[in-house]
Chains A and B, each alone.
Chain A
Amino acid sequence: MSLSSSLARPAGPGTRRSPAAALQAWLPKLVLAPSVAISLFFVYGFMLWTFVLSLTNSRMLPSYEFVGFAQYARLMANDRWWVASTNLVVFGGLFVAICLALGLLLAILLDQRIRQEGALRTVYLYPMALSFIVTGVVWKWLLNPGLGIQAMVRGWGFESFTFDWLVDPDMAVYTLVIAAVWQASGFVMALFLAGLRGIDDSIIKAAQLDGASLPRIYRRVVLPCLRPVVFSAVMILAHIAIKSFDLVVALTGGGPGYASDLPATFMYAHAFTRAQVGLGSASAMLMLGGVLAILIPYLYSELRSRRHG
């Protein structure tokens, strides 16, 4: 009882609430407090620490000798960083766009009241249950010119068939897109399918009564209704793209050379294996900046339009 009476005190002298009511008012805050404190410390606190480290000359272990923005300057002069950043734009853009398009198409096709829908849905959704490491290894074998698809088609007699993106420095980054799309598009399909099922039938019936054709109904009625789903899907896919690390490690190892490096693998290599904690932190901060630059305007426009709409 002493706990609840001490908690009742902040309620102020003017309010005459029973201790139990006060406890009820404070309980949610009390229960949430540890997780808030933990995320403040482990997420925002460490972000801040990373920023501080990015301004120092930390090498193997953190040091606090400040060198201003020298690490950022070094990063800008680093070829490998630019390769990694360009790759992220290519990989992230294609991954999100193809997943959305493919997911929507699959969802619309599955939504046609076909037989065995449940089984088909499971088939498409299962890749999501695999870890990216498994996906990476499987596609590494499939895409290996000497073992996988190329060898198989050549075995069928098409001797001139070539599909060697995995070992081609210019094309390696697209193999990441293939594997990631294979894994995630089923999940996007499930999101869209749920969205499609949530659309009120009467709206579609009304459009049909007005004489709208099927493609027109989809374009003008169904797609606008799916806007919140697109929002969630983009959020989820974008963060998968930016965090991609395991897929690169398993599929290409960043190679050939460092042609398929992404910022996450760059950061890991420098901060943890090359004794350049300062440079690694600087690259982590730029990754964070990139995420914010995409997310803030998008969140802002989405949330604002929802409030007005």
Chain B
Amino acid sequence: MNAFKKTPFVLAASLAGALSLSSAHAAEVEVLHWWTSGGEARAANVLKELMEAEGYGWQDFAVAGGGGETAMTVLKSRAMSGNPPSAAQIKGPEIQEWGELGLLGELDGVAEAEGWDTLLPPTVADIMRHDGQYVAVPVNVHRVNWLWANPEVLEAAGVAMPTTLDELFAAGEAIREAGYVPLAHGGQAWQDATVFETVLLATAGTDFYRQALVELDPEALGSATMIEALETFKRLRTLMDDDMPGRDWNIATSMVINGDAAMQLMGDWAKGEFTAAGLTAGVDYLCAAAPGTQDAFTFNIDSLAMFRVEGEEREAQQALARLVLEPTFQEAFNKAKGSIPARPDLDMSEFDTCAQRSQEAFRQTAEQGGLVPSMAHGMAVRADVQGALFDVVTNYFNSPDLEAEEAARRMVNAAQAVL
């Protein structure tokens, strides 16, 4: 890893920068993240205050841009020039990729002292480890397979919250007749993929989901079960409006909030939009597991990966890792973010009903095996495979004349074509 060694010049430059910015703190951590929206930024600030209370410095390195694409580009150039930050918001299989490059530092000391092995569910802990050592710390757990609904629109159409896909289609018809858009959706690749993986989970179950989207088994990807799931997925288009291509997810959520649309299939970050609109969970808006996926939990876990640093910075980095999992930060951050704490032992009474149900489902599915990583949110496969699958899914969903058989065939190719 010669290429990544700190050159004296870079070191001197960063030292000079650190000295001029804050000479008061002995040890400082620099954290790259993209928690830049109002609530998220406030939540990240809690961590900063906790660090400062212990006498460490916090250098904020926030790079705006929802999906973190810009942040990752910045991170890559920083890492290549041999000057990575102390910690960065990296998640899922990408942690392994950074680990393989030899750039991450281990956290085993903190993990042992704090008992992470017992604190974290094994599925979560596995993601945070590279080569058997902890290299990252989980910040939160998002559930992706949620259905959000506007109760007034449901009432106007005379339907209840659907619990199966058949009920969803039936309800959709009634809602359409009542003059509303049944399902709000934004036609962007990741949103298409989010709906697709939820449909696959509903029609084929968690075992098949794992086979197809986690293990990338070509037989599963090309099977009749997959073709059926793809057909059902495309049928959902009939419940959506024609103007959806390119729409952002939060605009789709606001359609539900404003009563133009009845429901939306989206992860629990959508709750942030409902909360910001001043609505109360269970009263002004409803949440339920996506139809047909009551026994499953597609997770999307944000984490902070720790880069290999030395000396005082390492000490501060270890403190950061410890503080992230402590109840104060977990509660403050996850209330703002709409997610649930990464450690299941916390008291959830101050969270809203949706978060409480999410927590319940998280614990249950972790025991019964319904806990699966979200492909659409980069938890299941690496970025290149994910991108190739996105292409197939979004192209199939948006091409009226593309058959499901052909899409399944392309999916097999997509999973294999990646070097």
| Chain A residues near B (Cβ < 8 Å) | 57, 59-62, 67, 70-71, 74, 77-80, 140, 144-147, 164, 166-167, 169, 172, 252-253, 255-259, 269-270, 272-276, 278
For B245, give its contact among A62, A256, A276 (CB under 8 Å).
A256
Once the chains bind, are B97 and A275 in contact (CB under 8 Å)?
Answer: yes
Chain B residues with CB under 8 A of A270? 387
A125 to B101, CA, bound (A): 51
Main secondary structure of the interface of B (DSSP, over half): helix
Q: Which single residue of chain B is at the shortest CB-CB distance from A144?
A: B243
Main secondary structure of the interface of A (DSSP, over half): loop
A140 to B245, CA, bound (A): 11
B204 within 8 A of A: no
State whether A274 and B387 are in contact (beta carbons under 8 Å apart), knowing that A146-B242, A256-B398 are contacts in the complex: yes
A278 to B80, CA, bound (A): 16
B27 within 8 A of A: no
B73 within 8 A of A: yes
Once the chains bind, are A257 and B387 in contact (CB under 8 Å)?
Answer: no
- Give 8 A-B pairs besides A61-B80, A257-B397, A274-B383 with Cβ atoms closer than 8 angstroms: A59-B419, A79-B395, A80-B395, A146-B242, A257-B395, A257-B399, A258-B394, A273-B72
State whether A273 and B383 are in contact (beta carbons under 8 Å apart), knowing that A60-B76, A257-B397 are contacts in the complex: yes
For A255, give its contact among B187, B383, B410 (CB under 8 Å).
B187
Shortest C-beta distance, A214 to chain B (Å), equals 47
A79 to B192, CA, bound (A): 18
For A253, give its contact among B79, B246, B391, B400 (CB under 8 Å).
B246
Once the chains bind, are A61 and B419 in contact (CB under 8 Å)?
Answer: no
B69 within 8 A of A: yes
Q: Which single residue of chain A is at the shortest CB-CB distance from B68?
A: A273
Chain A residues with CB under 8 A of B398? 169, 255-257, 259
For B383, give its contact among A60, A74, A144, A147 (CB under 8 Å).
A60
State whether A274 and B394 are in contact (beta carbons under 8 Å apart), knowing that A61-B79, A255-B245 are contacts in the complex: no
Once the chains bind, are A145 and B243 in contact (CB under 8 Å)?
Answer: yes
Once the chains bind, are A276 and B387 in contact (CB under 8 Å)?
Answer: yes
For B384, give its contact among A77, A140, A275 (CB under 8 Å).
A275
B386 within 8 A of A: yes
Q: Which of B80-119 contact A (CB under 8 A)?
A: 80, 94, 97-98, 101
State whether A257 and B394 are in contact (beta carbons under 8 Å apart), knowing that A60-B383, A252-B246, A275-B384 are contacts in the complex: yes
Q: Which single residue of chain A is at the shortest CB-CB distance from B100?
A: A60
For B73, give its contact among A59, A257, A272 (CB under 8 Å).
A272
Shortest C-beta distance, B337 to chain A (Å), equals 23
State whether A255 and B188 are in contact (beta carbons under 8 Å apart), knowing that A272-B69, A273-B69, A275-B97 are contacts in the complex: yes
Once the chains bind, are A167 and B384 in contact (CB under 8 Å)?
Answer: no
Provide a sorted-by-A list of 15 A–B residue pairs whose CB atoms are within 8 angstroms. A59-B384, A61-B76, A61-B101, A67-B419, A79-B391, A144-B243, A167-B243, A167-B245, A257-B396, A257-B398, A259-B395, A272-B69, A272-B72, A274-B384, A275-B382
A74 to B417, CA, bound (A): 7
For A164, give its contact among B188, B242, B397 (CB under 8 Å).
B242
Most buried by A among B245, B384, B397, B399: B245
